[in-house]
Structure 1
Amino acid sequence: MVAIAILAAGRGTRMKSDLPKVLHELAGRSLVERVLQSCQEIQISRRIVIVGYRGELVKEALMGGKEIRDNPQSPPLEFVEQTEQLGTGHAIQQLLPHLQGFQGDLLVLNGDVPLLRSETIKQLMAIHKQHQNSATLLTANLPNPQGYGRVFTDSQNLVQQIVEDRDCTQAQKQSHRINAGVYCFHWPDLEKILPELKADNDQKEYYLTDTVNFLSPVMAVDVEDYQEILGINDRKHLATACDILQRRVKDKWMTAGVTLLDPNSITIDDTVELQPDVVIEPQTHLRGKTSIASGSRIGPGSLIENSQIAENVTVLYSVVSDSTVAQNSRIGPYAHLRGHAEIGANCRVGNFVEVKNTQIGDRSNAAHLSYLGDATLGEKVNIGAGTITANYDGKNKHKTQIGDRTKIGSNSVLVAPITLGEDVTVAAGSVVTEDVSNDCLVIARSRQAVKPGWKLKEPKK
């Protein structure tokens, strides 16, 4: 059995924010959600988050967040409060009444270390079990270890001493092997010695690292890529972590056959799925649960968020959110699809067209300057420039239905609720307020009047 405990009680004063540090976002997920995500590939029996500063906000964010929705089979989250933040040892002491009788291993992670790979955690756990250690800790060799506790071991990687940076002598500070703050303990061994921790240091805090003085054997495991254990303490660290995550994601997709033109100007969330032969143009950003199928070309200058793009679609200088686009369709330039828009195959949604909560059938076109909201369009429908579905009456939204092969003339307004049948033609400039049956021409405008010799009178001086 394995329980995980995530340290998420701190405020993070250097973030200069009222938001708890662990709730700051990194590429679409909060820091603490990313830590939880890194544990998905190991068998976990309990998941505990230790909260403190604005703990209710952390609870609310996690219980309603992506991590819970995406992993419904995971053990439920448990929350333990650390009312005073007196160090990592003090935080784990709060688990004593909650893990009473637990006979498994406890994996301790920091809620502000979001780049840890699941493979690294699996390796740590495997070595811990293989050697039947009382404790196993993750270490790394940093080019600049300033600010991190140093770890000193023998030739078998058995830990002899851990010294916090502020307590190191000048000689000890020459070591580059640091404590990553990730531990696996055999809980029955740790449970016995936790009450013995003392705050004999400059900070008057209880260090979890002091437990190595009472446990045996304790082994260190070096992480291959030290960037995995970088913590987030300020906005600069957050930006650095984002760069690292983006490099990982982009390298993965380019290796898998995706073309990224000017990768430095592109951002891709790690929740995005791409197929080979997708081309991503500069200044394009892919967010959330987005998937893009083979042969599609996205950008330049496009944002795709929580949307599904089928094969051979082009999206040029456009925004697509919470929507789907079927194969061989063209979107943009400067189109906006939102609110569960569904675009059929071989369609065109062109310049400055907004589509909201609307289903457009195959081979239909809305080429310019139109708004289609709360509408259903059949196949081979043509929407003339400047067409508007007037879907809102000031209180409620209403539906517009347009049948197959219907043509809407330029600068027309369809006042919902309204239904136009198949093979209907709406004359340009019409304001249509009543349903129209199949095979009709609709002219809903005043006849033009011309008065010769008329001009506006000049006002009296």
Structure 2
Amino acid sequence: MDATAIVLAAGEGTRMKSNHAKVSHKILGKPMIQWVVDAAIAADCARVVVVVGSHADEVRALLDAAYTDSQVPVEAVEQAERLGTGHAVRVALDACGISAGPVVILNGDLPLVRPETIAQFAASVADGSTAATIFTCTPPDPFGFGRLVLDETGAVIRNIEQKDCTPEQAATLTECNAGCYAFDGELLARYIGEVGCENAQHECYLPDMMEILREHGHRVSIFHVDDYREGLGVNSRAQLAQITAIARDRINDRLMAEGVTFIDPTQAWISPDSTIGRDTVVWPQTHLIGACTVGEDCQLGPNTRLTNVRVGNACTLDEVVGIDVTLENTISCGPRAYLRPGTHVLDGAHVGTHVEIKNSTIGEGSKVPHLSYIGDTQMGAGVNIGAGSITCNYDGKRKNRTTIGDRAFIGSDTMMVAPVNIGDDVIVGASSCITKDVPDGALALERSQQRIIEGYTAARRARQ
């Protein structure tokens, strides 16, 4: 089906009280606009056109970052003058030459709509029997929604906005307009120019297309979704929090059905682009942001935040912050560890308490147990790093690398001043400052001679 999705994202979003575009606000770490565009792509729409306006540059940047390499074209069209939703659609049609096939109009603040719903919505106008359908739902609290009056065949007679409803209409009309529309593209292009702006706001309203189509003898119907949550939009911070909770529950319910355990599913926030394997246990206050992949039989959390992290099988991550890192299998990490971009921890390694690792490879079975910083390092297998050890990787101008060979034992409180190479089977004495390469199998010591001055304390007190 050669359907086009037009996503309306030009609005001010004044009720958000924000310096940013409404559709840039994130739900589970993902901008709202990307939820809608991703759903349209997953629904097999042939192209997606996003109408931008307020904070246009910010929204364009979000789209460019996410869809530059998308196989489905995602285009941004600017509505320089915000003259209503009908005008926004006309701008999109004119800019992109859309004149055929189903055209689905979606709102950029509708993050809970499912791909399969969009596909069915587009199909509702595909056979030519219906000129347009209106996306409807029946929420438990319909306040704020427009209400639809239908005839006995289900065709739309009239749309009544909330502010225009009589008390009787508000109580009896339950079919609510969620503000999304599917059109026969040829008819939409033919008649969109007839949408006028003769109203108090001097704006062109897309719902007026329904009356125009009926006047030309075309049928307008509804597309009802049983899950009213798909029709919920975001207009305030409170609604953003409510929809975030719904999205969280939807994702966590799916993961539990697939074999993941949540100690408390209301206290774990998993992004829609993350995956978790079966028999993994997710503890409270765990956040997976971006595209994370977690294997089977892992323990995540508590108090763990991962962004674009790949975790293998049988790993334990306790109070860990990780960003753009790869953790292989049977790894233990934390509590209170910070894994920065470029970190790669190999099978069976251990990263302990108050450890920071950046742009480094930790070899198989190696241990960095506590209170250490490892940066720009290539570490071999079976290495033990004593407490308080640091690779001094920055000389004030450049980042330099440290290499530590297999089975090296680095004593506590060791400074390794890069660039430096420490060979296989090396032992470094505690409290050493290593500035020169150490050959395989050697002992490296760098300490000043200890001095003992007996009776010093008594003499000092006497002088005072």
Q: For the superposition of Structure 1 and Structure 2, which TM-score range results when normalised by the shorter chain?
A: over 0.9
Q: CA deviation at 1:101?
A: 6.8
Q: CA deviation at 1:225?
A: 0.5
Match among 241, 257, 260 for residue 259 of structure 2: 257
Unaligned runs of 5+ in 1: none
Return closer, same or farther for 1:26/1:438 CA change in 2, 3 Å cut-off: same
Q: CA deviation at 1:38?
A: 0.9
Match among 405, 408, 411 for residue 407 of structure 2: 405
Tell me whether 378-387 or 335-344 shows the greater mean CA deviation.
335-344
Match among 189, 197, 207 for residue 187 of structure 2: 189
Unaligned runs of 5+ in 2: none
Q: CA deviation at 1:363?
A: 0.9
Q: CA deviation at 1:201?
A: 4.2
Alignment root-mean-square deviation, CA? 1.8
Q: Would the aligned equivalents of 2:39 and 2:115 in 1 still touch at CA under 8 Å? A: yes
Q: Distance in 1 between matches of 2:299 and 2:315?
A: 6
Tell me whether 447-456 or 225-234 shows the greater mean CA deviation.
447-456
Counterpart of 1:234? 236
Counterpart of 1:79? 76
Counterpart of 1:332? 334
Counterpart of 2:168? 171
Q: Distance in 2 between matches of 1:28 and 1:51?
A: 21
Q: Distance in 1 between matches of 2:289 and 2:123?
A: 34
Q: CA deviation at 1:160?
A: 1.5
Counterpart of 1:57? 58
Counterpart of 1:217? 219
Aligned residue identity for 1:184: A
Return closer, same or farther for 1:436/1:266 CA change in 2, 3 Å cut-off: same
1:241-280 matched pairs, under 5 angstroms = 241-280=243-282
Tell me whether 45-54 or 233-242 shows the greater mean CA deviation.
45-54
Aligned residue identity for 1:365: K
Q: CA deviation at 1:264?
A: 1.5
Q: Distance in 2 between matches of 1:315 and 1:272?
A: 16
Counterpart of 1:125? 122
Secondary structure of 1:208's aligned partner? coil
Q: Distance in 1 between matches of 2:371 and 2:316?
A: 19
Q: Would the aligned equivalents of 1:249 and 1:270 in 2 still touch at CA under 8 Å? A: yes
- With normalisation by structure 2, the TM-score equals 0.94
1:142 aligns with 2:139: yes
Secondary structure of 2:182's aligned partner? strand
Q: Distance in 1 between matches of 2:312 and 2:208?
A: 55
Q: Distance in 2 between matches of 1:61 and 1:100?
A: 24
1:105 aligns with 2:106: no
Counterpart of 2:20? 19
Counterpart of 1:376? 378
Secondary structure of 1:107's aligned partner? strand
Q: CA deviation at 1:193?
A: 2.1
Q: Distance in 2 between matches of 1:202 and 1:144?
A: 28
Counterpart of 1:30? 31
Q: CA deviation at 1:458?
A: 6.1
Secondary structure of 1:349's aligned partner? strand
Q: CA deviation at 1:249?
A: 0.4
Q: Distance in 1 between matches of 2:43 and 2:371?
A: 52
Tell me whether 201-210 or 240-249 shows the greater mean CA deviation.
201-210
Q: Deviations over 1:21-77 (max 9, x none)?
A: 11111112211111101112333333222122122222122112x3x15x62111x3
1:89 aligns with 2:122: no
Return closer, same or farther for 1:222/1:459 CA change in 2, 3 Å cut-off: farther
Q: Would the aligned equivalents of 2:40 and 2:48 in 1 still touch at CA under 8 Å? A: no
Q: Would the aligned equivalents of 1:143 and 1:176 in 2 still touch at CA under 8 Å? A: no
1:208 aligns with 2:167: no
Secondary structure of 2:207's aligned partner? helix
Q: CA deviation at 1:459?
A: 9.7
Q: Would the aligned equivalents of 1:157 and 1:221 in 2 still touch at CA under 8 Å? A: no
Q: CA deviation at 1:460?
A: 7.6
> Percent identity at matched positions?
38
Q: Would the aligned equivalents of 1:144 and 1:176 in 2 still touch at CA under 8 Å? A: no
Q: Would the aligned equivalents of 2:383 and 2:408 in 1 still touch at CA under 8 Å? A: yes
Secondary structure of 1:247's aligned partner? helix
Return closer, same or farther for 1:370/1:257 CA change in 2, 3 Å cut-off: same
Q: Would the aligned equivalents of 2:3 and 2:122 in 1 still touch at CA under 8 Å? A: no
Q: CA deviation at 1:167?
A: 2.8
Return closer, same or farther for 1:235/1:101 CA change in 2, 3 Å cut-off: closer
Q: Distance in 2 between matches of 1:29 and 1:209?
A: 30
